[in-house]
Structure 1
Amino acid sequence: MRLTDTAIKNAKPREKDYKLFDGYGLHVLVTRSGSKLWRMKYRYRRREKLLSFGPYPLVTLKHAREKRDDARLMLLEDRDPSEEKKRARIERDRERAVTLGAVAQEYLKKLEKEGRAPATMKKLRWLVSLIEPQLAERPLQQIEAQDVLRLLRKVESNGTYETTRRLRSTIGSVFRFAIASGRASSDPTDALKGALIRPTVKSRSAILDRLEFGRLLNAIDGFSGQPATMHALQLLSLMAPRPGELRQAQWCEFDLENAVWRVPPERMKMRRPHRVPLATQCLGRLCDLRRHTGDSAFLFPSARNWRKPMSENTLNAALKRMGYGSDKITAHGFRATFSTLANESGLWHVDAVERALAHVEVNEVRRAYVRGEHWDERVEMAQWWADQVDAMRESSRSG
Structure 2
Amino acid sequence: MLTLPQIKNAKPRPKTYKMADGFGLTLLVQSDGAKLWRFRYRFAGKEQMLSFGQWPQVSLAEARQSRDDARTQLRGGLNPGAVRKQTKAQAKVAAANSFRAVAEEWIELNRGKWRATHVVRVQSQLDRDILPSLGDRPISNISPAEVLAVAKRVEGRDALDQAKRCLQRVASIFALGVRTLRCETNPARELVGVIRTRKVQHRAALTFDQLPDYLGRLENVGAGAETKGALEFLLLTATRSGETRGMRWSEVDMDKGLWRIPGERTKTGMEHLVPLSKQAKAILERMQPLTGNGDLVFPSPVKKNEPLHANALLAALRRMGYETGDITAHGFRATFSTTLNELGHNPDVIERALAHVPKDKIRAAYHRSQYLEERRVLLQAWADMIDAKRKGANVVPMRKKAVG
TM-score, length basis structure 2: 0.68
Alignment of 1:195-206 (within 5 A): 195-206=194-205
**Residue in structure 1 matched with residue 384 of structure 2 by the alignment:** 387
How many Å separate the matches in 2 of 1:181 and 1:312?
45
Aligned amino acid, residue 355 of structure 1 = R
- Cα contact 1:100–1:137 (8 A) shared by 2: yes
Cα displacement (A) at 1:282: 0.9
- Cα contact 1:262–1:275 (8 A) shared by 2: yes
Cα displacement (A) at 1:300: 1.8
Distance 1:188 1:344, change over 3 A: same
- Deviation string 1:157-213 (CA, Å, 9 cap, x unpaired) is 233323322222233334445555665554332121122212222222222x22223
Alignment of 1:95-134 (within 5 A): 95-97=94-96, 99-101=98-100, 104=103, 107=106, 113-114=112-113, 116=115, 118=117, 120-121=118-119, 123-131=121-129, 134=132
How many Å separate the matches in 2 of 1:34 and 1:186?
37
Cα displacement (A) at 1:111: 5.2
Distance 1:277 1:365, change over 3 A: closer
How many Å separate the matches in 2 of 1:151 and 1:177?
19
**Residue in structure 1 matched with residue 358 of structure 2 by the alignment:** 361
**Residue in structure 2 matched with residue 36 of structure 1 by the alignment:** 75
How many Å separate the matches in 2 of 1:224 and 1:180?
60
**Residue in structure 2 matched with residue 342 of structure 1 by the alignment:** 340
Cα displacement (A) at 1:109: 6.0
Distance 1:126 1:89, change over 3 A: closer
Aligned amino acid, residue 149 of structure 1 = L
How many Å separate the matches in 1 of 2:327 and 2:162?
23
State the superposition RMSD in angstroms: 3.8
Aligned amino acid, residue 37 of structure 1 = G
1:279 paired with 2:277, answer yes
How many Å separate the matches in 2 of 1:316 and 1:292?
22
Alignment of 1:67-86 (within 5 A): none
- Structure 2 portions without partners, runs of 5+: 1-41, 45-69, 394-404
**Residue in structure 1 matched with residue 144 of structure 2 by the alignment:** 145
When structure 1 is superposed on structure 2, of 253-262 and 299-308 the one drifting more is 299-308
1:296 maps to which of 294, 297, 302: 294
Helix, strand or coil for the counterpart of 2:260?
A: strand
- Give me the identity figure in percent: 31
Cα displacement (A) at 1:121: 4.9
Helix, strand or coil for the counterpart of 1:131?
A: helix
How many Å separate the matches in 1 of 2:215 and 2:376?
22
When structure 1 is superposed on structure 2, of 178-187 and 246-255 the one drifting more is 178-187
Cα displacement (A) at 1:352: 1.4
**Residue in structure 2 matched with residue 216 of structure 1 by the alignment:** 214
Helix, strand or coil for the counterpart of 1:261?
A: strand
TM-score, length basis structure 1: 0.69
How many Å separate the matches in 1 of 2:226 and 2:98?
48
How many Å separate the matches in 1 of 2:169 and 2:130?
14
How many Å separate the matches in 1 of 2:113 and 2:227?
32
- Deviation string 1:308-344 (CA, Å, 9 cap, x unpaired) is 3223443334323433345222222111111111111
- Cα contact 1:206–1:333 (8 A) shared by 2: yes
Aligned amino acid, residue 164 of structure 2 = R
How many Å separate the matches in 1 of 2:300 and 2:181?
46
Helix, strand or coil for the counterpart of 1:202?
A: coil
Aligned amino acid, residue 349 of structure 2 = A
Distance 1:375 1:162, change over 3 A: closer
When structure 1 is superposed on structure 2, of 276-285 and 369-378 the one drifting more is 369-378
Aligned amino acid, residue 76 of structure 2 = L
Distance 1:182 1:234, change over 3 A: farther
**Residue in structure 2 matched with residue 78 of structure 1 by the alignment:** none
Aligned amino acid, residue 386 of structure 2 = V
Q: How many residues align?
A: 326
Helix, strand or coil for the counterpart of 2:129?
A: coil
**Residue in structure 1 matched with residue 313 of structure 2 by the alignment:** 315
